[in-house]
Amino acid sequence: MEDARVLELKRSDATEMVAEMARLLQLPLQLDCQKGFMELRDPVGTGKVMCYHTDKGLDTIIFNCELRVPIELKLRGNFSQPIFFYTAARGAVDVSCQRGDFTVKDLQATVHGAYGGDEYSIRLPAGEEILLMVSLVHRKVFFEKVECEILQIPPQLLRVVKGDEPDQDHFLFQDIYHLPAVDAVYSIIDHQEVGLLHSAHASAMIFENLFLLLNEYKRIHKSTNGRLVKEVNKINLIRAAEKVLIANLHDCPTIPNLARMVGVNQQTLKKGFRQLYGTTINGYLNDHRLNQASLLINGGNMSIAEVADAVGYSNGGYFSRKFKQKYGVPPSKFGSG
């Protein structure tokens, strides 16, 4: 495993932790209403790390980035341990505390609560796209005005909320594969407004995500694993569709045929593809075709017309336009210096 750059942070709320990250990475922290964010740059990586102070006792960090080197966030101090709600839309992260380790995989959500003030670390990998939302629910503050028994939170989680029985193991629930919760994360990063409008939208999506995760936990807690199996199977079918596309760049099936090939209806395929890969089927296909075309052009053994045909473009002019949109130069000038 590649050595990580360790950032030691005082356990606090999300805004203060992201501000400390920015200071340690020597990056400016920018503020926009309830949102704080830093833009990553080399040698750290690309993308953004954002934080939101949503409500008394609830704040959120969103990692939307690709790192050059792994980063390990070590949270220390006597600040009360929150309940962590993880939603991984892309990428996987490793979490470690004195009571155990676990991994949050892509399209997986996890609820984690520890009873004590243990050291806590989150390891973000390098070389892959990460879109991860971590909501921190500070128990004593957030739930002080809520009678949790009325919410009918299952007993195991309710003990964590109340901080009872500190000698028991931590609470960890990972069997949540709920695409609407992932949608809420995408909705925040795709929202184009700024200031109050963006902060209000983000707050609504953070609460929706929290509700969806708690509700899914309650559903799964009460029922058999049939719903979970259905969600996992749907994700596997969409991944199978992606493999069919990549294997048939020259002559891809239509969306109706692709849906029939993998055994899912068109609406589920299109919506699930957007949730899983962050773009439409055609957008994903075009991006991979152009990536493959750039490799073939650099190889120097094929004409532009042959490259276009090899990756599935029957119209050379259209291929040139799409290529220039992506790479800034026409294919005839690509790699020429």
Cβ neighbours around 324 below 10 Å, total: 14
Q: Contact at 8 Å (CB) between 281 and 269?
A: yes
Task: Establish how many alpha carbons lie within 13 A of residue 294's alpha carbon, considering only the half-sphere containing its beta carbon.
Answer: 16
Centroid of chain to Cα 68: 17
The sign of the torsion formed by the CA atoms of 166, 167, 168, 172 equals positive
Whether cis (ω within 30° of 0) applies to the bond prior to 253 is no
Cβ neighbours around 261 below 10 Å, total: 13
Task: Give pLDDT tens digits along the chain (337 positions).
Answer: 678 899 999 878 888 999 999 999 999 999 998 899 999 999 999 999 999 988 778 899 999 999 999 999 998 876 667 789 999 988 899 998 877 789 998 888 898 886 555 678 999 999 999 999 999 988 767 766 555 544 566 666 666 666 555 545 567 888 777 778 888 999 999 988 889 999 999 999 999 998 888 888 877 766 655 455 556 677 778 888 888 888 887 788 889 888 888 888 888 888 888 877 878 899 888 888 898 889 888 887 888 999 988 888 888 888 989 999 888 898 888 876 5
Residue 7 bridge partners (DSSP): 73
Q: What is the pLDDT of residue 167?
A: 47
Torsion, Cα of 16, 21, 24, 26 (10° steps): -100
Q: Contact at 8 Å (CB) between 181 and 209?
A: yes
Report how far apart, in Å, the C-alpha atoms of 127 and of each of 25, 44, 87, 325 are: 18, 11, 20, 24
How many whole angstroms separate alpha carbon 246 and alpha carbon 119? 43
Question: Is 0.85 surpassed by the pTM of this model?
Answer: no
- Tell me, letter by letter, the H, E, C secondary structure of 211-233: HHHHHHHHHHHHCCCHHHHHHHH
Q: Contact at 8 Å (CB) between 259 and 266?
A: yes
Task: Establish how many alpha carbons lie within 13 A of residue 167's alpha carbon, considering only the half-sphere containing its beta carbon.
Answer: 0
Tell me the backbone φ, ψ of residue 157, rounded to 5 degrees: -75, -35
β-strand pairing of 71-76 with 5-10 = parallel
Q: Contact at 8 Å (CB) between 6 and 74?
A: yes
Q: What is the pLDDT of residue 105?
A: 87
Q: Contact at 8 Å (CB) between 51 and 61?
A: yes
Q: Contact at 8 Å (CB) between 170 and 225?
A: no
Residues 6+ apart with CB under 8 A from 284: 242, 245, 273, 277
Q: Contact at 8 Å (CB) between 113 and 157?
A: yes
